Chains A and B, each alone.
Chain A
Amino acid sequence: MNLPAGGHNSIFSQISHAATSSFSEYLARSAPDMLPGARTAGMPSGMAAEAVAPHATTIVAMTYAGGVLMAGDRRATMGNMIASRHIEKVFPADMYSVLGIAGTAGIALDVTRLFQVELEHYEKIEGTLLSLEGKANRLGAMIRGNLPMALQGLAVIPLFAGFDLDRRVGRLFSYDVTGGRYEEQEHHSVGSGSVFARGALKKLWKPNLDEAQAVLVSVEALYDAADDDSATGGPDVVRQLWPVVYTVNAAGARRIPERDLAAAAEAVIASRAVAGREA
């Protein structure tokens, strides 16, 4: 292609190359060692990565009337040990989207932080929000950047949910380690307890749940995951620790307050105790 201002080495192409709206692209050029995927320090092969780095577990997400919801338990594990009871794995990405992470906690938290700055950076430079698809694609590119680490056993699998301001609906996206992006319908779950959470969601989720019902369904799905997966933490009534739940609708992302989650968790525990059956 022949640009009016000249070829590939013209001033125009130099300027347009320097002027990127992407924070991660800028970082890759000016300080590549700060990117999460850049740390390819060779691990001794044959060493189990999950035994040395904390692992974050189950995330569930679902659509409800007018938006999407995402919830994560509070446990991180390291081999057979509990590394943290307080870890938070669901974060607001910007005003209209949230992401949850499963996999190697350290890298996942870095990817989250980078993604949050990426979206805010674009918004400040361009003066407008990225489209929801655009955000989902950027996250995919970041996960792809982490592929060498994933092949060494330090994988990060996010779940992304947001409110599409053009279509006026909540949408869900899941990813694989190669950065492949898949749009999910109705509900989805990632992490070690996802099999059980997904089973629960299939029975509990219905179209057009309201927000309070959706919160209850997410807490119950995580309860079921924690029941059968040792790496997923259930509601902790002793320490008063509840899942982290975010909803996103036309008004933006909102964190569900602790007291609502306490009520939801206690309702789930009570209904199971009253039934008095084996699960």
Chain B
Amino acid sequence: MTQQFYVSPEQLMKDRADFARKGIARGRSVMVLSCRDGIALVAENPSPSLHKIGEIYDRIAFAAVGKYNEFESLRQAGVRYADVRGYSYDRDDVTARGLASVYAQSLGTVFTADSKPFEVELAVAEVGLRQSDDHLYRLTFDGSIADEPDFVVMGGQTEALTESLRSNWDAGHDFAGVIRAAVSSLEGSAGNAGENGSASRRLGPDQLEVAVLERDPESSRGSRRAFRRLSAAEMTEILGK
């Protein structure tokens, strides 16, 4: 039997946090942005089928960075949570706050109790009837939860992207405007650090995964489901390439 060495709790938590942070920073960025028309979710994702953005419920969407198998299982759990809740109470009783706190609890439990923390960072977005009612929650690998105003940036070079979005983003933007702002920030971030260092690259529709939560889907599409993926054709039109 091998001898167990003593590791202080501070050191243990720090090691786990460093491990998770490293995994998350390796990935490409995802942004969730509130605007006049609703909430836009923009991800740099070359795969057309392995999504980083997903629909949870009528007015709630999910975005994630990190390990695909881990956030995919969290997404499916979220869909199940929301559908069971909506089925047993009412569709209006499913809120992003409730879902975010369930995510926070599971992430927190896994971080402290499991052999390995989840290497993921999540955003849960709920579109309101007015822009002031929009909710963006950011959830990190250790179960911390934050209610963020305006926009959330996750994965990759978060700080540089947040800086550049501060100047590009505007609350009065429509979907096209806010998506252009997000894409130009992504292009400006020059991909992963050290990758030939050259500034701006171009991101086409085939490298982007974009979806929106419409503020009033009942009148625009006759549906109560606000979530809609933008097709490559729509993205080409928005980006004007």
- B80 CB contact (under 8 Å) in A26, A113, A114: A26
Please give the distance in Å from A192's CB to the nearest CB on chain B. 30
Q: Does B128 contact A (CB under 8 A)?
A: no
Give the CA-CA distance A19 to B49 in the complex, in Å. Answer: 18
Q: Let me know if A125 and B87 touch, CB within 8 A.
A: no
A contacts with B, residue count (CB < 8 A)? 16
A124 and B86 contact, CB distance less than 8 A: no
Judge whether A229 is part of the interface by a CB distance below 8 angstroms: no
Q: Cβ of B223: which chain A residues have Cβ within 8 Å of it?
A: 95
Interface mask (B82-119 → A, CB under 8 Å = 1, otherwise 0): 01101110000000000000000000000000000000
Say whether B38 faces chain A, with CB atoms less than 8 Å apart.
no
Q: Does A113 lie within 8 Å of B87, measured CB to CB?
A: yes
User: Is A88 among interface residues, defined by CB-CB distance under 8 A?
Assistant: no
Chain A residues near B83: list those with CB within 8 A: 23, 117, 120-121, 124
Contact residues in B for A31 (Cβ distance below 8 Å)? 84, 88
Q: Give chain A nearest CB distance to B52 CB in angstroms.
A: 12
A124 touches B54 (CB 8 A): yes
Specify which of A114, A117, A125 is in contact with B76 (CB 8 Å cutoff).
A125
Residue of A95, A113, A124 touching B79 (CB-CB under 8 A): A124
Closest beta carbon of chain B to A99's beta carbon, Å:
17
A34→B88 contact, CB < 8 A:
yes
A17 to B149, CA, bound (A): 40
A107 to B79, CA, bound (A): 25
Residue B40 is within 8 A (CB to CB) of chain A in the complex? no
Chain B residues, CB < 8 A from A120: 83, 225
Interface membership of chain A positions 174-214, coded 1 if the CB is closer than 8 angstroms to chain B and 0 otherwise: 00000000000000000000000000000000000000000
Residue of B nearest to A31 (CB): B84
A interface, by DSSP: helix, strand, loop or mixed? Answer: helix
A124 touches B87 (CB 8 A): no
Contacting residues, chain B, for A34 (C-beta < 8 A):
84, 87-88
Whether A127 is near chain B, meaning CB under 8 Å from some CB there, is: yes
Residues 124-143 of A contacting B (Cβ, < 8 Å)? 124-125, 127
Cβ contacts A8-23/B at 8 Å (1 or 0 each): 0000000000010001
A117, B79: Cα distance in complex, Å = 11
Most chain A CB within 10 A, of B49, B87, B88, is at: B87
Q: Which residues of B contact A30 (CB under 8 A)?
A: 84
For B79, the closest partner residue in chain A by CB is A124
CB neighbours of B173 from chain A (8 A): none
Determine the residue in chain B with the shortest Cβ distance to A34.
Answer: B88
Apart from A26-B84, A117-B86: 15 A-B pairs, beta carbons within 8 A = A19-B76, A23-B87, A26-B80, A31-B84, A31-B88, A113-B87, A114-B87, A117-B87, A121-B79, A121-B83, A124-B54, A124-B56, A124-B83, A125-B79, A127-B54
Q: Which A residues form the contact surface with B (CB < 8 A)?
A: 19, 23, 26-27, 30-31, 34, 95, 113-114, 117, 120-121, 124-125, 127
